[in-house]
Structure 1
Amino acid sequence: MKITPEQRIELHGFNNLTKSLSFNMYDICYTKTKEEREAYLEYIDEQYSAERLSSILKNVSDLIGAHVLNIAKQDYIPQGASVTMLISEGPVVEVPTDTYKETPGPLPNNVVMQLDKSHITVHTYPEFHPNEGISTFRADIDVSTCGEISPLKALNYLIHSFDTDIITMDYRVRGFTRDRNGRKLFIDHDINSIQNYIPDEIKGLYDMIDVNVYQENIFHTKCKLKRFNINNYLFGYTEDKLKPTERDEIIERLQTEMDEIFYGANVPVLKKDKNQG
């Protein structure tokens, strides 16, 4: 069933479809010494503390029209944080005309819809390579909603909330609801790609790969930053402090780290497969 932007499906009862968005971001940094690594982890813990993450999730709940029932948050030792937010149906406002359009969602300035029996979670994972001088920070955010609007409408805001080198996004619609005649509906909106929910100016910054299983209502998109400026990956100093050979070595290590995360495989394995092919 194709849904036009002006249409709304008349349901038998409440919309029982569960729409889940998993948003994973990676920030990569070169930390040459133990002191640099500790300073980077301290910066990450401060920048993405449980308190700030709670603020981000509250804005997400506003964007999808949720009422926050409960927040559990924790900063971990030595590093990392988690926030879990239970949300329920929020204030009912006028249904937006772009409910079914594959367009980027707004930034947090208005409530647009309602949902029920839902949750939002975030977990952070700072880590470092034991020998290569690479530190990596990962944040996993899961938004699960019931109701008419997709959590993809919060994607634009989430991308703006994190300074990220690599993004992995998964969207899935589970369960079924019924129309007024009792016919099962396994999805209530048309979707071609997660990319259609990302603004063009953001898409222009990244290389992107889609893997979609349309018959199962599963959508997957990976993004890797296109342009590489080494100064964005040095912690506490700039490129002019490096010797040319050291600069080239650092760039190679950083780009290898990004490629491995993006393709989900160690670079030596990829090179071997390429030679064999």
Structure 2
Amino acid sequence: MGVIKVGTSSWADQSLLRSGWYPRSANTPAGRLAFYAGRFPLVEVDTSYYAVPVPETTQGWVDATPDDFTFDVKAFSLFTGHPTPVAALPRDLRPTAGAGRVRRRDLPEQAYEELWSRFRAALAPIAAAGKLGTVLLQFPPWLARSAAAERRIVELAQRCRPWRVAVELRHGSWFDGAATTATLDLLRAHDLSLVCVDMPQGHPSSVPPILVRTAEPAIVRFHGHSDAWRDGDKQDKFRYAYAEQELRAWAERLAGLAEDVDDLHVLFNNCCAGQAQRDATRLAQLLAETMLGDTPVPVGPRRTSDGPAVAASRG
């Protein structure tokens, strides 16, 4: 029987800091992460998508968290094919001329390889502490299924080894009819975790929430179902509170998947003014009820005076 870890896709976004979720005593980056890690056993590092952190920063994350804490780290945007602001690159690797955003083709090979070297160096302290869950490769909505795209996924995953790798695909062609089986077979063949996404449907970037294990850990990310998904800004797209009946239904589904996996990572990405933290806490409570019955038991590996840490295990 598997272990379910529940967390959120950020611990330091500005709307969360303004929401009052953190006490006044958690007034430093390390203090806030320590407070978060006292309540959740898992977090997704989103900042690494926007800039490659330095090892001193990631070592600080390691030092601020308990031994059993887990980080899932999102890969730098340039690696997965997203146009990336030049200002997000280290100063010594920025092109001397060109547009405000760059892609891989805009960088010399040596600069691109150096970026990967620095990304791996940033993850090294987390991995050395046994706290690295997965490297998340989140591909852009325009990456359609093709032989070249499949090769691209495999090549990037190889750059992340020996660490675990998860893949989030955001183009419907990967899950169109018979393509679904081929996509899942590809991921299984290369030991890559499919990221199951709960998100609004009917949009160009929509993919169905396929709850299966292709590798360890299994991963589910919750984006919410905002009506502003197509035209809203980033905050509006993720401004969504999961209803109790939605969370109860997901608790049943996740408990079923846990029967067939060793580890299941559940991440709430509806990061708007603490809503992700509230929904994650409630889902963990429902998972404990679903998997462990009504007997009062700790929900996770640690408890605090403010509430339970958020993880559930079975078996």
If the length of structure 1 is used for normalisation, what is the TM-score?
0.28
Say which one has the larger Rg.
1
Q: As a proportion of its length, which structure holds more helix?
A: 2
- TM-score between both structures, scaled by the size of structure 2: 0.25
